[in-house]
């Protein structure tokens, strides 16, 4: 213990006591800051109940300000982004239509400004979705294509593979996605199991809208056109990459009005609806895809998303 000589200034602390108090305050403050920076991040997601085929937005809030945030979800890499503050990060993802219900881990890793790694993990329950089965009749060439057509289908596969591999590291979308048609109603739901001529079973990985031929088709959000050409099954097809491998597809168009490489804004006209490819009549088929996972477009339109600067 230290003692100070009493004098006429005894009402004030002696220098040694003063120094000890300062050190204690600084030490306590530093400990509080360190504890604050090391606090586990808060992780939330929307929709709160995620189902098979659901798009979802993950939100992570930190006490500190990371320089990078990434995660593993459903076996895929998910890179997060921030909008106005580095304390809050977002990741747009989804669950594939053919995924199995169950518990899946979101494995998060953040790199803080000082280089430290912060790891967190959340177990998220993915619920089942119920889908119906329908039977359709189409020309036989779409069920049993000949040798020449099979060659074209293989070429189409390579074209789509190249488009789906396109990489834009940052989100080009901003705000909520919008339906590509105005005043149009969906005619066939996402996830329907379909049989063609009683032989070929497929899963409907998009949403069909009733639209007479020539109806303007609009971009659901901003992005880059990575495919714009005629394909055998899809007919005239446009694929827009919205960044971080989140894409929307517009199929069976009568006309394509954009070109590969074009930058498009939300609401920009991409083409006109039609009945090209494997179609039973004029309509628009629209699909949403995240790293190979097809998610329900109707749920995407309903998902509130942040504006990206």
| Residue bearing the bigger pLDDT, 279 or 286 | 286
Q: What is the pLDDT of residues 204-225, one digit of tens each?
A: 889 999 899 999 999 999 999 9
pLDDT band at 288 (very low <50, low <70, confident <90, very high): very high
pLDDT band at 200 (very low <50, low <70, confident <90, very high): low
Average pLDDT over residues 153-161: 96
What CATH number has the domain bearing residue 103?
A: 2.60.40.1220
Closest to 124 measured CA to CA, from 137, 111, 142, 106: 106
**Confidence (pLDDT) at 77:** 94
Average pLDDT over residues 237-264: 97
What are the helix and strand counts (H, E) for the chain?
A: 3, 23
Residues 139 and 272 in one domain: yes
How many angstroms separate the Cα of 165 from the Cα of each of 31, 102, 194, 204, 245? Answer: 47, 28, 27, 22, 8
Residues 229 and 276 in one domain: yes
pTM: 0.82
Domain that holds residue 107: 42-127
Q: What is the pLDDT of residues 22-34, one digit of tens each?
A: 433 444 333 333 3
Residues 196 and 267 in one domain: yes
pLDDT band at 198 (very low <50, low <70, confident <90, very high): low
**Confidence (pLDDT) at 141:** 60
Residues 73 and 108 in one domain: yes
């Amino acid at each position: 213990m230290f003692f100070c000589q009493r004098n006429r200034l005894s009402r004030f602390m002696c220098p040694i006591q003063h120094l000890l108090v300062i050190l204690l305050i600084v030490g306590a403050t530093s400990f509080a800051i360190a504890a604050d920076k090391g606090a586990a991040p808060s992780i939330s997601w929307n929709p709160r109940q995620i189902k098979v085929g659901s798009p979802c937005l993950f939100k992570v809030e930190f006490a500190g300000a990371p320089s990078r945030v990434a995660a593993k979800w459903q076996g895929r890499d998910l890179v997060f982004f921030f909008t106005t503050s580095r304390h809050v990060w977002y990741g747009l993802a989804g669950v594939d239509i053919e995924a199995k219900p169950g518990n899946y881990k979101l494995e998060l890793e953040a790199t803080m400004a000082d280089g430290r790694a912060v790891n967190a993990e959340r177990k998220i329950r993915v619920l089942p979705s119920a889908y119906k089965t329908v039977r359709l009749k189409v020309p036989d060439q779409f069920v049993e294509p000949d040798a020449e057509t099979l060659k074209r289908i293989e070429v189409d596969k390579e074209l789509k593979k190249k488009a789906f591999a396109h990489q834009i590291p940052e989100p080009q979308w901003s705000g909520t996605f919008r339906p590509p048609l105005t005043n149009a109603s969906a005619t066939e739901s996402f996830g329907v199991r379909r049989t063609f001529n009683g032989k070929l079973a497929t899963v409907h990985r998009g949403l069909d809208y009733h639209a007479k031929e020539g109806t303007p088709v609009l971009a659901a959000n901003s992005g880059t056109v990575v495919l714009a050409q005629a394909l055998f099954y899809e007919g005239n097809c446009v694929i827009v990459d919205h960044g971080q491998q989140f894409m929307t597809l517009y199929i069976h168009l009568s006309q394509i009005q954009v070109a590969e490489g074009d930058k498009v804004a939300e609401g920009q006209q991409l083409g006109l609806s039609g009945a090209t490819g494997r179609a039973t009549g004029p309509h628009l088929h629209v699909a949403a895809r995240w790293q190979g996972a097809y998610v329900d477009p109707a749920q995407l339109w309903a998902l509130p998303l942040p504006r990206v600067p």
